[in-house]
Structure 1
């Protein structure tokens, strides 16, 4: 018997969400596509904001039970013309009724784990940053063609929050 072996992309990517819990999959599934994003990050040491531009690509993976994204930036030093700087995997946990989120940005040394739940007209992701401080990442104002995202950090176990990143994006695909 001859069996073919799928490519890595074929084995990872899914054509759409799992039909087992379609409503839950829409939470992050609404972000599937490609986005042109502009953002700014706060340097907590000096209080200065730095702007940046990137492309955010999101798709269903793991037989449609998860959504994965990659953040890419233009790069003259890469043969493809872009560098992949980060990825996040968001897996719906039907037993807990939440999304489990893991974020990886190896070049900057960021590794974060969060739990996502619906919040107002968006999604809230609460967890712990690489440095051990509480973090909160909010998707807000999500429409079919745009969203805003904010990253917050707490220095006092969640009593107060400091905005450290803000992104806005428009759909390009």
Structure 2
């Protein structure tokens, strides 16, 4: 990479990232800011029960777009363990963009994993002590994504989808995350 490439990359990063939440988002509406930072995760369920297998991942959250959005990157397996022969079913390298919508008084959430083609749209809000995101997969299947068991340094994240019977919610993913220490 030459000096011009470094300048262009740094310019993009500087234009995208923000140091903090935008002043026009009230502190009470800042339901995702506590996530900012780096996290390690244990993968308990990812399309199948992985409780007996040790699967790990990493997550990075940051303020972007002048502090009006929180963007993340979810990676499984971690970058140091990734290889070319990784099966699509074991591969997660996606990003979520959570954008504050003042008119809706909620967060519009879009997740994309280019490797698998997954694209999901949700609306996120605080419900009691949890963060609840409700929406659909690209094929219209209703989904709920929840951050629960939240502490300053840990959380549990689950993703469920409505089964074809229209009644049963099926677990698609469960992750237990811990804030990474310097």
Q: Same fold (TM over 0.5)?
A: yes
| Aligned counterparts of 1:126 and 1:108: Cα–Cα separation in 2 | 21
TM-score after normalising by structure 2:
0.80
User: How far off is 1:40 after superposition?
Assistant: 2.6
- What secondary structure does 1:63 align onto? helix
Structure 2 equivalent of residue 58 of structure 1: 61
Contact 1:38 1:53 in 2 (8 A): yes
| Aligned counterparts of 1:144 and 1:90: Cα–Cα separation in 2 | 20
Gaps of 5+ in 1: none
Structure 1 equivalent of residue 158 of structure 2: 150
Instruction: Give CA deviations for 1:112-167 in whole Å, capped at 9, x if unaligned.
Output: 01011112212100111133210100001211110011110102586331222111
Structure 1 equivalent of residue 103 of structure 2: 95
Instruction: Give CA deviations for 1:54-87 in whole Å, capped at 9, x if unaligned.
Output: 1100000000000000123224548xxxx98110
TM-score after normalising by structure 1:
0.84
2:21 to 7, 14, 17: 17
| Aligned counterparts of 1:34 and 1:125: Cα–Cα separation in 2 | 21
Relative to its length, the structure with more helix (as a share) is 2
2:34 to 6, 30, 47: 30
CA RMSD of aligned residues (A): 2.4
2:146 to 138, 142, 153: 138
User: How far off is 1:15 after superposition?
Assistant: 0.5
Instruction: Give CA deviations for 1:18-64 in whole Å, capped at 9, x if unaligned.
Output: 11123145310111111110113354xxxx41352111000000000
| Aligned counterparts of 1:42 and 1:97: Cα–Cα separation in 2 | 31
Contact 2:92 2:113 in 1 (8 A): no
2:45 to 21, 41, 45: 41
| Aligned counterparts of 2:45 and 2:13: Cα–Cα separation in 1 | 32
- Of the structure 1 ranges 17-26 and 154-163, higher mean CA displacement relative to structure 2 is found in 154-163
Change in CA separation of 1:34 and 1:103 when aligned onto 2, cut-off 3 Å: same
